[in-house]
Chain A
Amino acid sequence: MSMKKIASLLGVAAVLVGLSACGNSNKKTSSDAKESKTLTVLLSEEPSKTNALNNAFKKWAKETGNKLKTVVIPYDDQLTKFPLMLKNKDVPDIVATTRLMMLYPDEFTDLSKKMDTSIFDEKALKVINQDYTDTKVLGAPNQYTLSCYFYNKDAFKKAGITAPTVDNPWTLDELYANAERLKRDGDVKYGLAVDFSRARYDNLMYSNGGSMVKKDGKTFDVTINSNKNVKTLQKFISLNKSGVMPEVIWTGGSSDNPADYFKNGDVGIYLSGTWNYEPLNTDVSKFDFGVMPSPKGSEQQSVISGGSSLAIPKSAKNSKLAVQFLKWLYKDKNLKEYLTNDKGISFVKDVSYVDKDPDVAADYKILQSELDHVTDQFLVDEQSQWRNYLDNEYRDYLKQAVSGEMSAKGALDAFAQDLSKKSDWAVK
């Protein structure tokens, strides 16, 4: 045998060995892949280090040896991006969203067939999933939120104001009067600030007995432009114009955030939501703050509840893995840890969160009591699912009224007409 032949035989042998090694390595990789899968999670914002949900995902991945891939799309953008993901057949395995009913609910798995959903508080489940008609459970709650009033304790002290209590809440008139007093005597620039969100503003409307719609048999009537609602909006505009509230927040034209105003000690009372409790607790160091019960309008107190849920798209590649995560999350031990980290209101029957800090615990007692003030008007509005027809347009009309482009009545009349046209509900 010539040297050339020997060399070529050795070469072939080397190639075969190499190929078999590759084959083995491929086999190893595929078996590894069976054991360690990647769960793709869609979140609404870049998670901070203390983000309870993200940390729960991480802990689960560590315990089970799986991997995580996080995709961040803000809630508003989810409405347009999620359909594109569905079209491209590239959906995440779990979607954390506050807009489940607007993300094509037909595309999500009924979780009641995959896990025990009877553990969830029924009211929380309906409010969070915004679904009042179906028996399916399309999302498992991960956050139950309420609108709430934060206040600057130091400013109250300076202005000589005593905070209201659960048994003795303020009236709306008292809230407005005290906001003026805070501005005058409390060493704050503004007495009251309200998030640039219709869901915060609507509390004032519900407190005065107003509503977006009224039920009329099987259909609804549009009532957003009622006299009550016009008066509520007029008062809101006057508070902005007088400087008791930072007008720039509600006129638009700036990206100023009222949470920053409050954190800097420039606002006496801040109408926001429970999801801001933990960030405020972390960021506010210049003064003490607390939570106060909602004020009573001409008819009632009002809080708006909502929240976020975890849903599994039907076309998710790793849907079994997603179900596995949900079952893990709602185990008693894991859930308590999650609620403690999230400082959230519980959405599971017989499980609640009590903080070790007495001030925080007292605030949560107030928040828990506020659950009773979710108004019937709000629940009817939610049942109508009016936001499936128009959503941001309502806030834009409010913005135009505050900025002076339209009158309060003009803005609400125009929105009533728009909603009526889209929904076929009569304006009454």
Chain B
Amino acid sequence: MQKRKNRMSHAFWMLIFPSGLLFFVFFIIPLILNIILSFTNYDGWKTMNFIGLSNYQEALTDSRFYSALLKTFIYAIVNLPFKVIIPLLLAVLLTSDKVKFKTFSRTAIYIPVLLSSLVVGITINWMFSQEYGLINFLIQQLGGQPVAWGRQPALATFIISLASTWASTGFYMIIYIGAINNISHDVYEAAEIDGVSAWQRLLKITIPLLMPTTFLVTLLSTVNLLKEYALIQGVTQGGPGTSTTFVIQYIFDKGFNQSLYGYAAAMSVVIMIIFAVIAFIQFKVNEGGEFTK
């Protein structure tokens, strides 16, 4: 019995070692280095003096940092429902027996996931460019006035939201499709015998049984929305003004454009703590996605 236990333990460590090593090299070491940098005035080249908590003091009194953080939260909260609901509805639709061209539709919806954020940005720019964009061209052809996508903060944020949802829907849809296919047909058959309508089946069976998946999608979407960077860089570069300058972009700008690596590292640590707290709250509220047991 003891021998069997030891063998299991060895197998456990053998299996976990490759991912553990990668996690250590690409996450733990950079994290430690980042924390060390956050206590210095490192400029990316020659200057690196220990300056204690100065970077943290500056970050916590930086109104622009708070402004970027607030905008990030608003962006994440507003977009989260779309990130979860649209893939769920598409997955339900594309697993229905009544729908045709399912494979084609799934592929078409998934293709944007394969594109890099910058390619998505270029595509979106081509569509929404103020002067020469496709959408404004069509609007003008129909006799309308071109829309000031790049001048209005709300419209610029809308474009980023649209692009972000478009680029990620396919990924979450596939996760939902896998989960829906795993729901036992017996449950649906029993419901049918009881005379349950399609709408009730969705609300009373499918959605509750998908709760662990919904938790996963919600968590991944929240983290990705809070970290949104490359897409914004490709579409609005943080404008108009600073209306789409979210917190990661602000940190990147401080670090890589202004060579304030120490300060950027301190802000990263603060952000990491905030994001971790948000993820922890989500885990607690959703009981880690296990509450359907």
A residues engaging B (CB < 8 A)? 76, 79-80, 83, 86-87, 104, 189, 246-248, 251-256, 260-261, 264, 266, 390, 392-393, 396, 399-400, 402-405
Which of B107-115, B148-156, B267-275 participates in binding chain A? B148-156
Whether B241 lies near A246 (C-beta < 8 A) is: no
B residues near A264, Cβ cutoff 8 Å: 132
| Beta-carbon contact of A253 and B259 below 8 Å | no
Residues in A with CB closer than 8 Å to B44 are 80, 83
Given A392-B257, A393-B258; A104-B240 close (CB under 8 Å): no
Known: A251-B151, A392-B257. 11 other contacts (CB 8 A): A87-B45, A189-B131, A248-B130, A248-B131, A252-B239, A253-B237, A254-B239, A261-B131, A393-B258, A402-B241, A405-B241
Residue A256 contacts which of B131, B153, B238 (CB distance < 8 angstroms)?
A: B131
State whether the Cβ of B24 lies closer than 8 Å to any Cβ in chain A: no
Contact between B131 and A251, CB atoms less than 8 A apart: no
Interface residue total, chain B, C-beta cutoff 8 A: 28
Residues of chain A lying within 8 A (CB to CB) of residue B243: 253, 403, 405
- The CA-CA distance from A80 to B150 in the complex, in Å, is 29
Chain A residues with CB under 8 A of B206: none
Verify if B242 is at the interface (C-beta below 8 Å from A): yes
> How distant is the Cα of A246 from the Cα of B241 in the complex, in angstroms?
15
In the complex, the answer to whether A253 meets B125 with C-beta atoms within 8 Å is: no
Query: Which residue of B has the minimal Cβ distance to A107?
Result: B45
B contacts, CB < 8 Å to A: 44-46, 125, 129-132, 148-151, 153, 156, 235-244, 256-259
Contacts of A251 in B (CB 8 A): 150-151, 239-241
Looking at the assembled complex, report how far the CB atom of B171 sits from the nearest CB atom of chain A, in whole angstroms.
Answer: 26
Q: A76-B257, A79-B259, A393-B258 in contact; A256/B241 too (CB < 8 A)?
A: no
Majority SS of interface residues in chain A?
helix
Contact A403 B239 (CB under 8 A): yes
Smallest CB separation, B31 vs chain A (Å): 21
Asked if A254 contacts B236 (CB within 8 A), the reply is yes
- Say yes or no: A80-B259 contact (C-beta < 8 A), given A248-B131, A256-B150: yes
Question: Are A400 and B150 touching (Cβ within 8 A)?
Answer: no
Q: Are A255 and B240 in contact (CB under 8 A)?
A: no
Can you report 17 residue pairs joining A to B where beta carbons are below 8 Å apart? A80-B44, A80-B259, A247-B151, A248-B131, A248-B151, A251-B241, A252-B237, A252-B238, A255-B129, A260-B131, A392-B258, A396-B242, A399-B240, A400-B242, A402-B241, A403-B239, A403-B241
Q: Which residues of A contact B131 (CB under 8 A)?
A: 189, 246, 248, 256, 260-261, 266
A-B contact count (CB 8 A): 90
- 9 interchain residue pairs of minimum CB distance: A252-B239, A254-B150, A403-B241, A253-B239, A253-B240, A251-B240, A253-B150, A405-B241, A83-B45
Partner of A253, one of B132, B151, B258: B151
Most buried by B among A79, A247, A251, A399: A251
Q: For A189, what are the chain B residues with a Cβ–Cβ distance below 8 Å?
A: 131
Q: What residue of chain B has the Cβ atom nearest to residue A260's Cβ?
A: B132
Contacts of B241 in A (CB 8 A): 251-253, 399-400, 402-405
Which of chain A's residues have a CB closer than 8 A to the CB of B153? 253, 403
A161 to B2, CA, bound (A): 97
Residue of B45, B148, B240, B259 contacting most chain A CB atoms (<10 Å): B240
A246 to B243, CA, bound (A): 19
- A251-B241, A404-B241 are contacts. A80–B236 as well, Cβ < 8 Å? no
Contact A248 B150 (CB under 8 A): yes
Q: What residues of chain B lie closer than 8 Å to A405, measured between beta carbons?
A: 241-243
* CA of A399 to CA of B244, assembled, Å: 13
Task: Write the nearest CB–CB distance from A159 to chain B, whole angstroms.
Answer: 21
Contacts of A246 in B (CB 8 A): 130-131
Smallest Cβ-Cβ distance to B237: which chain A residue? A252
Q: In the complex, how many angstroms separate the beta carbon of A125 from the nearest chain B beta carbon?
A: 26
List of B residues within 8 angstroms of A76 by Cβ: 257
Which residues of chain B have C-beta atoms less than 8 A from A104's C-beta?
45-46
Residues from chain A with Cβ under 8 Å of B151 in the complex: 247-248, 251, 253, 403
From A247, A252, A261, A393, residue with most partner B Cβ within 10 Å: A252
Task: Kindly state the separation between the CA atoms of A390 and B242 in the bound complex, as whole angstroms.
Answer: 18
Q: Tell me, rounded to whole Å, the shortest Cβ–Cβ distance linking A253 to chain B.
A: 3
Most buried by B among A76, A87, A264, A399: A399
Query: Could you tell me the distance in whole angstroms from the C-beta of B121 to the nearest C-beta in chain A?
Result: 8
Looking at A79, A86, A390, A403, which has the most chain B CB atoms within 10 Å of its CB? Answer: A403
Q: Are A252 and B240 neighbours in the complex by a CB distance under 8 Å?
A: yes
Report how far A86 CA is from B44 CA in the complex, Å.
11
How far apart sit A402 and B239, CA to CA, in the bound complex (Å)?
11
